[in-house]
Chain A
Amino acid sequence: MTASPANPTKVRGETILSVDNLVKHFPITQGVLFQRQIGAVKAVDGVSFELRRGETLGVVGESGCGKSTLARLLMRLETPTSGRATLEGKDLFKASGGELRRLRRNMQMVMQDPYTSLNPRMTVGDIIGEPFEIHPDAAPKGSKAKRVQELLDLVGLNPEHINRYPHQFSGGQRQRIGIARALALKPEVIVCDEPVSALDVSIQAQVINLLKQLQGELGLSYIFIAHDLSVVRHIADRVAVMYLGRIVEIGTEDEIYERATHPYTQALLSAVPVPDPEARDQRNMIRLVGDVPSPADPPSGCHFRTRCWKAQDICATEDPKTVPRAADPHPSACHFAELRPATPA
Chain B
Amino acid sequence: MTVNPTPASATPEGGHLLELRDLHVEFRTNEGVARVINGVSYHLDAGETLAVLGESGSGKSVTAQAIMGILDTPPAFVRSGQILYQGEDLLTRSEEQRRQVRGKEIAMIFQDALSALNPVFPVGWQIGETLRQRAGMSRADARRRAVELMDLVKIPGAAKRIGDYPHQFSGGMRQRVMIAMALALDPKVLIADEPTTALDVTVQAQIMDLLADLRRELNMAMILITHDLGVVAGVADRIAVMYAGRIVEHADVRSLYKAPAHPYTKGLLESIPRLDVRGQELSTIKGLPPNLMRIPSGCPFHPRCPYVQQVCVDEVPHDLVLGDGRTSACHFAQEVRDDSVAS
Contacts and interface: CB of A to CB of B under 8 A. Distances in A.
A236 B229 CA distance: 23
B202 A271 contact: yes
A205 B275 CA distance: 14
Interface in B276-296: 276-285, 288-289
B334 interface: no
Interface stretch (A102-110, A130-138, A227-235, A313-321): A227-235
A233 B230 contact: no
Interface string B194-222: 00000011111110010000000000000
A276 B276 CA distance: 11
Given A230-B275, A287-B206, A170 B201 contact: no
A9 B209 CA distance: 54
B269 interface: yes
A276 B258 CA distance: 8
B56 interface: yes
Interface string A233-246: 11110000000000
B276 A344 contact: yes
A63 B200 contact: yes
Given A172-B288, A275-B257, A231 B227 contact: no
B293 to A, nearest CB: 14
- The bracket for how many chain A residues form the interface is 35 or more
A65 to B, nearest CB: 9
A208 B276 contact: no
B263 to A, nearest CB: 12
A269 B275 contact: yes
Nearest to B236: A277
Nearest to B291: A170
Interface stretch (A45-53, A185-193, A196-204): A196-204
Interface string A264-300: 0001110111111111100001011001100000000
Contacts of B200: 62-63, 227, 292
B325 interface: no
A206 B284 contact: yes
A306 interface: no
Contacts of B306: none
B5 interface: no
A111 to B, nearest CB: 18
A272 B279 contact: no
Contact of B275 (A204, A212, A272, A288): A272
B70 interface: no
B273 A234 contact: yes
A222 interface: no
A276 B257 contact: yes
What secondary structure prevails in chain B residues at the interface with A? loop
- The bracket for how many chain B residues form the interface is 35 or more
A343 interface: yes
Contacts of B285: 202, 205
Determine which residue in B234, B277, B282 has the highest number of CB atoms from chain A within 10 A of its CB, and name it: B282
Nearest to B281: A209
Contacts of A249: none
Nearest to A294: B170
A253 interface: yes
A228 B282 CA distance: 15
Given A63-B200, A274-B233, A287-B205, A230 B274 contact: yes
A117 to B, nearest CB: 18
Nearest to A274: B230
Nearest to A285: B205
A236 B273 CA distance: 13
B275 A343 contact: yes
B80 interface: no
Contact of A267 (B202, B209, B289): B202
B205 A271 contact: yes
B55 A201 contact: yes
B201 A272 contact: yes
B204 A271 contact: yes
Contacts of B228: 201, 273
Given A202-B267, A273-B228, A279 B55 contact: no
A275 B283 contact: no
A92 B234 CA distance: 47
A179 to B, nearest CB: 16
Given A230-B272, A287-B205, 20 more contacts: A62-B200, A170-B288, A201-B271, A202-B267, A202-B271, A202-B285, A205-B284, A208-B282, A209-B282, A212-B279, A254-B278, A271-B205, A272-B230, A273-B231, A273-B233, A275-B229, A276-B257, A291-B170, A343-B276, A344-B275
Interface of A: 62-63, 170-173, 200-206, 208-209, 212, 227-231, 233-236, 253-254, 257, 267-269, 271-280, 285, 287-288, 291-292, 343-345
Interface of B: 55-56, 170-173, 200-206, 209, 227-231, 233-234, 253-254, 257, 267-269, 271-285, 288-289
13 contacts: A63-B200, A205-B282, A206-B284, A212-B281, A227-B201, A233-B279, A234-B278, A271-B205, A272-B275, A273-B228, A274-B233, A275-B233, A345-B276
